[in-house]
Chain A
Amino acid sequence: MSLEAAHNTNIAVHEHEEHLAHQFMNRAQQDESYIVGMWSFLVTEILFFGALFLCYSIFRIQYPMAYQEGHEELSWQLGCLNTLILLTSSLTMVLAVHAAQVNKRILAAGWLVVTCFLAAGFLVVKLAFEWYPKYLHHLIPGVHFHWPHEGFSEVAPGKAELFFGLYFAMTGLHGIHVVIGIGIMGVLAIMLLLNHKSTQYYMPIELAGLYWHFVDIVWIFLFPLFYLIGKR
């Protein structure tokens, strides 16, 4: 095929396929590029969280008792509730993607709003019922850190502080991702309601979904590693 013929074919494709950027042959190629682009971002996120998980593991091997006693200050019930909330939000997210795929614009916006509310619920449980009481109990690492079991256990305050440092760093970084997710899903919901050109094709919602499921997966690992270390 001559260059000119190829060019003409492309123009013909463009006329037939909506929402196709000019550098792509067709929508399948464009979809794959978008999805691979999102996955390459998620790989950098795995690098980001992976280093923290490595840090967690090395210190867990060194100070198993600090992790054991530290985790007893966390509420597995609240952790379980938050896992339930995030798993449910992943379901509502795929329902939003599904609605967008079958061109049910308002339904897709509705599921995105439900997902936003679930994400906000997660943050309320995390901040109001977990982090704030820990602040009151002086369990936030720093000059005011106080280890209630000091003198009654073999775990030195510094080692317990290390556990709580990792707890706040890892759940905090995860929490920041939840906040960003609420922003992305909220904006997409508004764009869907306004019937914005960019959300007339489902791909932006699909990509936001990939991000949101990644946030869910991080929590799937954080939950057993912090809340379910082991009964004594």
Chain B
Amino acid sequence: MTGHAHVTPVRVYLVVYVLLLMLLVATVGVYFVPHTMLSPAAGLAVAMAIAIVKAALVIGFFMQVVYGTKLTWLWAAIGFVWLSLLAGIMIDYSTRHMNMPDGSAFDRMQTQAPVK
């Protein structure tokens, strides 16, 4: 076994770059969709979905994980285990009613951004 690096053709990098630019245009485009058509929560979900696809393209092709060994795959995935733990903490925070520092009870449903 010799250590020859996997050399990705430049064409692949250019295609990924064009896809990233298209996704950038898409995420800015979603920003201008009126709230009557897309609720703020749905807009956030779409923006995050686009960001995840962009990150996956960068990790997979620019960071060469697609061509990497199984151990590289494992390490690239470990960070997301941590992020999923954080997401668990988020679910806790977003579903409980908190007591605010000024003594009032905090109900997040009362302070939602008005949809205009």
Contacts and interface: CB of A to CB of B under 8 A. Distances in A.
A62 B108 contact: yes
Interface of B: 1-5, 7-8, 10, 13-14, 17, 20-21, 24, 27-28, 30-32, 34-35, 40, 43-44, 47-48, 50-51, 54-55, 58-59, 61-64, 68-69, 71-72, 75-76, 78-80, 82-83, 86, 89-90, 93-94, 98, 106, 108, 111-113, 116
Interface stretch (A42-50, A125-133, A134-142, A181-189): A42-50
A210 interface: yes
Contact of B106 (A40, A62, A101, A220): A62
A87 B50 CA distance: 14
22 contacts: A17-B2, A26-B3, A27-B4, A31-B3, A36-B75, A46-B80, A58-B93, A62-B108, A64-B112, A65-B113, A68-B113, A80-B28, A90-B58, A91-B62, A93-B62, A94-B61, A98-B13, A209-B63, A216-B58, A228-B27, A228-B47, A231-B32
A84 interface: yes
Name the residue among A63, A220, A232 with the largest chain B CB count within 10 angstroms.
Answer: A220
Contacts of A1: none
Overall SS of chain B's interface: helix
Interface of A: 17, 20, 26-32, 35-36, 39-40, 42-43, 46-47, 50-51, 53-54, 57-58, 61-65, 68, 76, 80, 83-84, 87-88, 90-91, 93-95, 98, 101-102, 202, 206, 209-210, 213-214, 216-217, 220-221, 223-225, 228, 230-232
Nearest to A90: B62
Contact of A28 (B2, B14, B43, B78): B2
Contact of B79 (A29, A46, A91): A46
B35 A230 contact: yes
Contacts of A61: 93-94, 108
Given A80-B28, A88-B17, A224-B50, 14 more contacts: A26-B3, A28-B2, A31-B5, A39-B72, A39-B78, A54-B89, A87-B21, A90-B58, A91-B13, A94-B61, A213-B63, A220-B51, A228-B31, A228-B47
Contacts of B32: 231
B76 to A, nearest CB: 6
A90 B78 CA distance: 23
B72 A36 contact: yes
A35 B67 CA distance: 12
Nearest to A13: B2
Contact of B83 (A26, A46, A64, A216): A46
